[in-house]
Amino acid sequence: MSGEFSRLGTIAGLSFRGSLAGLRVVGLSAFAAVPSLIVLALVSARPPSDTLANAALGLFPSLTLPIVVMVIVLVISIAQFRNEIDNETLVYLSDRSVRRPTIVVGKYLGALGASLVLVVPASLLPLAIATAGGGTPYPAAVPAATAVAVALAAVAYVGFFLFLGLVSRSALVLGLLFGFLWEELLPLLPGHVPQLTLIYYLRSYLSGTLTSGPLSGYPTTTPATAAVAVLLAIAVAFVLAGAAAFRYLETAPERTSA
Amino acid sequence: MTAGVVEAQELTKRYGEVLGLNRFTSSIAGGITGLVGPNGAGKSTLFRLLAGQLKADAGTLTLLGHPAWGEGEFRRHVGYCPEHSALYEGLTGEAFVTTLLRVDGYSRAEAGERALRAIETVGLTEARGRRLRTYSKGMRQRVKIAQSIAHDPELILLDEPLNGVDPVGRSTLTALLETLQKAGRHIVVSSHVLYEVERLTDQIIMISNGRALAQGDLHRIRALIDAHPHVIDLEAGNPRTVARFLGEWDHVTAIEFPGPGRLRVRCRAPEEFYRALPPLVVREGLDVRSLTSADDNLDAVFRYLSEGGT
Amino acid sequence: MTISAPRYGSTSSERLGRTRRVLAIVRRELRRRAGWGTVAAVVLAFVSVAAVVIVDAEFASLTGTLRLTTLEAPFESPIWPLLLLLVATSAGAGALAEDTGNRSIVLYLSRPIHLIDYVGAKAIACGTWILIAAAGPPLTAVLILTLLGVVPTSIAVSAALGYLAVGLLATIFLTGVALSLSSLTSRPLYAGVGIFGVVLSLFIGAAAVAAITGNLYVPYASPVTLLRSVGLGVFGGPSTPETDPATSAAVLAIAGAVLGAFAAWRASRVEVVSE
């Protein structure tokens, strides 16, 4: 018999492969390619080098992070538990001798890995295309910061959406409300309200890491390191909450026959 | 008195206003036990409670002395084959069984070895490299059974395992369950077809409307059922050829053709029918694809029992 | 073996007409689509959009600057399209996907109804919810303002017609989007996220490309921009529409119809595999 880490790896691998299987990965990849396609359209217009570089980078906070990353992570994370509960495949894992927190952590790692496979290229490819298309080259810190930002976004959002998919049958609507109303509208409000959103900490990280360009200058009082700590803490909190909830939740689908 | 492998005391489970199980009390001893009841009787609810998918609203339920709700190492000694046919469609049959064994804590090598053995036991060796999404209903049943026995559990829970399996497959699976029983395994198997279970065991629990109506020897109930003609639906490549052979059997009282490729047989001695069909199919090379039994007559018996006819 | 003679009997009864059968599906779908997500989004739309219209009109009335253009406020706000997307997602994502996923589409199509009746009934049910969210809040606001005597009847009638026209256009387009994406999958989750993702990506992407390239046709790729242009065009507001309102209306209507037809085509090709 092998240990808990081995079981964790098996569940993570199962979730990873399941997340990137079938037509779903085609749809998600197409969606991840949207920023790159837009930059390709920009390149074809042959704008000045600085304009092209700034426009491509400008897509990151306006499109890539709040929409592309959000949608990809939402789909992958909610599906982890919600689809398996509705399909009743979760029972193949839950009726084994594995501990339920191990299932939650394994699924988290699998979903995180699958998300990263899609969102990191979605953030870096547009910058590469802009540079290759004649845009002013970016300092190394820029692609590094964007890659870290999407990774942090995935770390935090996967934790939250995974939890949502586990505890709520209306995870999709709740996820969309969170992703496109909470995360989009609260940052527009004055005072400390934006600090209630994850996007605030992601932008704080970017602003604290980069000193110039469209990603810097976000009005924040939170240093980059604190922002990273908050995002990691949120991820851990939701994974722990998910692990605790899974111990007490029934996992048969809603319309179970007698 | 020794405790059974499964003990249910006043077990109640509600789905909103619908009662799935209603103060169900039963003790399941070793060997093979059949859980029989019409659709909606509460069989799957009981299995879901046993699998830890659902939590009882009242009463107690234990497996091998452990509470059924929740996780635990005791599940290493339990195998579960659910009724539904959902699987991890992207995996191959072999990867499916191996992965679940890995989740159970077996090393890569041992999991692979055990998976191959279980797959061979259920007769899926040739199809083990195919993705599950390409499996037929019968193959799905068999791979589900393979994952439930691969870790050599002490108690095996099989929810409608013979559903959709062809006559030869039924015969193979029945033989497999008998082998497992002889090897000292305890098996709880559900079906809405009493005659399927009768071939496996005399020990049954009859369940209806969420309650255990009767438990124990089957023979008395069988006598009741024989008073009702048994209805069996078959799917076949050439139904009229199959009907020609079946029409020669004395216990077959009527044959109908409800649709293309289908025939419905009414017979007085279903146990005889189930025993004689597989050899006939093999001998005559008949293309019989599936065999299902309507439960109307069983309902009649249950109505009789639940109305106090016992 | 015994053979018993069949017994024949007449059990014929009058069948309801095609319209009644479609209405039966519509009624069921209306209830089915009224999940808490749909209701919450509609309530949110009523509260936020109606509030914006009432506050703007009250303020303009106090300063004596109340015109028809004052009432275009919903089309200036980013909340209106976001809430419409949410309603379209909640009411439309599962319209076809759920039936394909749980195989009930077979039950529907095995009845004596046409495919177009089935898809049409789904569209009517989903569209009704979108229309309630799109036109209901500003219409309610105008009714309240008219009853309070803030808005003259002539302006109120024009505004009401304008809201209804823009609301209908939004309904046609978003119903088409929702049904077409719902027809592509058996999982409402993917359809729902797709509705949001596609519309918002087109909005932001078209804005970025248009800003850099200066191409005047690129904004026509953004449904949100088109809806805004139609709204501003109908109310003749001070803001200049990014696209020509009439062309925008035509693009939205045609796109909605094409997407609806696509959904019907997809539904006709659905193969429901039992296992």
Entry pTM? 0.79
Query: Could you count the other beta carbons within 10 Å of the beta carbon of residue C175?
Result: 28
Asked whether residue B212 falls in the same domain as residue B231, the answer is no
Q: How far is A89 from chain B (nearest CA, A)?
A: 6
Rg over alpha carbons for chain A, rounded to the nearest Å, is 19
Burial of C17 from C-beta contacts in 10 A (0-12 / 13-18 / 19+): exposed
According to the model, what pLDDT value does residue C108 have? 75
The mean pLDDT value of chain B amounts to 85
Residue C6: closest C-alpha in chain B: B256
State mean pLDDT over C223-233: 91
According to the model, what pLDDT value does residue B226 have? 61
Asked whether residue B119 falls in the same domain as residue B245, the answer is no
pLDDT bracket for residue B198 (50, 70, 90): confident
Does residue B1 belong to any structural domain of this protein? no
Asked whether residue B130 falls in the same domain as residue B54, the answer is yes
Say whether residue C154 is in contact with chain B using an 8 A CB cutoff: no
Sheet strands (E) in A81-134: none
Interface test with B, best of A98, A99, A251 (most B CBs within 10 A): A98
Closest CA to B114 of B88, B96, B136: B96
Q: Would you say A57 and A214 are in contact if contact means Cβ atoms under 8 Å apart?
A: yes
**Displacement of CA B116 from its chain's centroid (Å):** 23
CB contact under 8 A, A258 and B41: yes
According to the model, what pLDDT value does residue B300 have? 58
Asked whether residue B80 falls in the same domain as residue B148, the answer is yes
User: Residue B121 is encoded by which pair of tokens?
Assistant: 């036991």
Residue indicated by tokens 């191990």: A102
Does residue B142 belong to any structural domain of this protein? yes
| Interacting residues of C248 by C-beta distance below 8 A, sequence separation 6+ | C220, C225, C226, C227, C229, C230, C233, C241
Asked whether residue B83 falls in the same domain as residue B210, the answer is yes
Q: Would you say C136 and C46 are in contact if contact means Cβ atoms under 8 Å apart?
A: yes
The mean pLDDT value of chain C amounts to 85
According to the model, what pLDDT value does residue C255 have? 95
Does residue B33 belong to any structural domain of this protein? yes
Q: Which of A172-186, C11-25, C168-182 has the highest mean pLDDT?
A: C168-182
Asked whether residue B233 falls in the same domain as residue B115, the answer is no
- Residue pLDDT tens, chain A, 258 long: 568 889 999 999 999 999 998 778 888 999 899 999 999 988 988 888 998 999 899 899 988 999 899 999 999 999 999 888 888 899 999 888 899 999 999 999 999 999 999 999 999 999 999 999 998 999 999 999 999 999 999 999 999 999 999 998 888 888 988 988 899 888 888 888 999 999 999 999 999 998 877 788 788 889 999 999 999 999 999 999 999 999 888 887 664 444
Does residue B222 belong to any structural domain of this protein? no
Q: Would you say C270 and C115 are in contact if contact means Cβ atoms under 8 Å apart?
A: no
| A18, A91, A252 member nearest B90 (Cβ) | A18
User: Which of these three, B217, B250, B268, is where a domain ends?
Assistant: B217
Does residue B83 belong to any structural domain of this protein? yes
User: Residue C270 is encoded by which pair of tokens?
Assistant: 């659905």
Name which of A210-224, B57-71, C145-159 the model is least confident about.
Answer: A210-224
Q: Quick check: B306 pLDDT over 60?
A: no
Asked whether residue B31 falls in the same domain as residue B127, the answer is yes
CB contact under 8 A, C204 and A82: no
According to the model, what pLDDT value does residue A258 have? 47
CB contact under 8 A, B253 and C2: yes
Strand pairing partners for B190? B35, B159
According to the model, what pLDDT value does residue C186 have? 83
According to the model, what pLDDT value does residue C207 have? 87
Q: Would you say A243 and A105 are in contact if contact means Cβ atoms under 8 Å apart?
A: yes
| C185, C212, C215 member nearest A51 (Cβ) | C212
Say whether residue C3 is in contact with chain B using an 8 A CB cutoff: yes
Asked whether residue B41 falls in the same domain as residue B117, the answer is yes
Asked whether residue B233 falls in the same domain as residue B173, the answer is no
Q: What are phi and psi of C90, to 5 degrees?
A: -70, -40
According to the model, what pLDDT value does residue B52 have? 87
State mean pLDDT over B171-199: 85
B305: domain CATH number? 3.30.70.100
Length of chain B: 310
| B140, B250, B252 member nearest C275 (Cβ) | B140
Tell me the residue type at C184.
L
Contacts of B54 in chain A (CB under 8 A): 250, 252, 256
| Interacting residues of B19 by C-beta distance below 8 A, sequence separation 6+ | B12, B13, B209, B210
Q: Quick check: B30 pLDDT over 50?
A: yes
User: Which of these three, B163, B184, B217, is where a domain ends?
Assistant: B217
Q: Quick check: B61 pLDDT over 90?
A: yes
pLDDT bracket for residue B288 (50, 70, 90): confident
Q: How far is A130 from chain C (nearest CA, A)?
A: 13
Q: How far is C266 from chain A (nearest CA, A)?
A: 16
Enter the ipTM.
0.85
Asked whether residue B125 falls in the same domain as residue B271, the answer is no
Q: Which of A211-225, B110-124, B244-258, C179-193 has the highest mean pLDDT?
A: B110-124
Q: What percentage of chain C has pLDDT greater than the value 90?
A: 32
Give me the number of domains chain B comprises. 2
Length of chain C: 275
Is residue C148 classed as helix, strand or coil in its secondary structure?
coil
Q: What is the DSSP string of B240-305?
A: HHHHHHHTTSTTEEEEEEEETTEEEEEES-HHHHHHHHHHHHHHHT--EEEEEE--HHHHHHHHHI
According to the model, what pLDDT value does residue A229 have? 97
Say whether residue A84 is in contact with chain C using an 8 A CB cutoff: no
According to the model, what pLDDT value does residue B171 have? 83
According to the model, what pLDDT value does residue C4 have? 47
What single DSSP character describes residue C241?
P
| End-to-end Cα distance, chain C | 36
B120: domain CATH number? 3.40.50.300
Asked whether residue B123 falls in the same domain as residue B259, the answer is no
User: Which of these three, B184, B199, B217, is where a domain ends?
Assistant: B217
State mean pLDDT over B210-229: 71
According to the model, what pLDDT value does residue C3 have? 46
Q: Quick check: C6 pLDDT over 60?
A: no
Q: Which residues form the domain of B255?
A: 227-309
Q: How far is B240 from chain A (nearest CA, A)?
A: 36
Strand B288-293 relative to strand B230-236, pairing: antiparallel
Q: Quick check: C174 pLDDT over 70?
A: yes
Q: How far is B86 from chain C (nearest CA, A)?
A: 8
According to the model, what pLDDT value does residue B294 have? 59
State mean pLDDT over B100-115: 93
For chain B, what percentages of helix, strand and coil (3-state, to nearest 5) are there? 40, 30, 30
Please tell me the distance from the alpha carbon of residue B301 to that of residue B310, in angstroms, as a whole number: 10
CB contact under 8 A, C205 and A82: no
Asked whether residue B64 falls in the same domain as residue B195, the answer is yes
Sheet strands (E) in chain B: 6-15, 18-28, 32-36, 58-63, 66-67, 78-81, 155-159, 186-191, 203-208, 211-217, 230-236, 252-259, 262-267, 288-293
| C1, C4, C275 member nearest B252 (Cβ) | C1
Sheet strands (E) in chain C: none
